Chains A and B, each alone.
Chain A
């Protein structure tokens, strides 16, 4: 079985401040980890992924995430948040099979 936990329902930050969205996972075998973003009334958009290699992964819109195997975490980060980053963020994990398991989502609000 595989699962993802996003411990925070909401994250609020001021524009220009660092943004972190937390994710921990549980999976048998090597994890494939993903972050997606969803804007209102839109589908989910891919941000970045970790498959193998460097633990620090860089993605779209200035986001990055760090894979930490010992802590089974894959936190999403952005050094300087923008108001336009306000959205719903999903972490997801899969192992060697097809099924992608999503977290419950974290709503990010960046205030001007």
Chain B
């Protein structure tokens, strides 16, 4: 298995632009997490999907952030409009169903100028 796949790995954009981050979880993992990592706040859980349904989005910073999981093999995290304070590394992770052990993607490093 190729593991959790994220794209793009790096994105540089200007304030006000729309940003879309993509994730393909491990096949057979029926849940998916989006995390954000910054130096100041560490790892923050943004949203959790189970069986493609958003279960907990309490970590989504504000309405500018949205996430979807249209099927078991694909999820997107969208920021519109983006702001410089959104600059961070965004991780997608899918858990092993039996233990909850998380498998992380390599992350998408977002820089908003």
Contact surface of A with B, Cβ cutoff 8 Å? 32, 34, 36, 41-46, 49, 51, 90, 92, 94, 98-100, 102, 104-105
Contacts and interface: CB of A to CB of B under 8 A. Distances in A.
A90 B102 CA distance: 12
Interface of B: 4, 31, 33, 42-43, 45, 48, 50, 55-56, 91, 93, 95, 99-107, 109
Nearest to A32: B100
Given A90-B43, A105-B42, A100 B100 contact: yes
Contacts of A42: 106-107
Contacts, number: 51
22 contacts: A32-B99, A34-B101, A34-B102, A36-B102, A36-B104, A42-B107, A43-B104, A43-B106, A44-B93, A44-B104, A46-B102, A46-B103, A51-B99, A90-B43, A98-B48, A98-B50, A98-B55, A98-B56, A98-B95, A99-B48, A100-B33, A100-B45
A105 B106 CA distance: 18
A46 B105 CA distance: 12
Contact of B101 (A43, A46, A102, A105): A46
Contact of A49 (B31, B99, B109): B99
Nearest to A103: B42
B107 A102 contact: no
Given A42-B106, A43-B91, A94 B42 contact: no
B44 to A, nearest CB: 9
A98 B31 contact: yes
A92 B101 CA distance: 10
Contacts of A43: 4, 91, 93, 104-107
Given A98-B48, A102-B43, A44 B102 contact: yes
Contacts of A100: 33, 45, 95, 100, 102
A100 B96 CA distance: 13
Q: Identify the interface centre among A34, A41, A45, A98: most chain B CB within 10 Å of its CB.
A: A98
Nearest to B91: A43
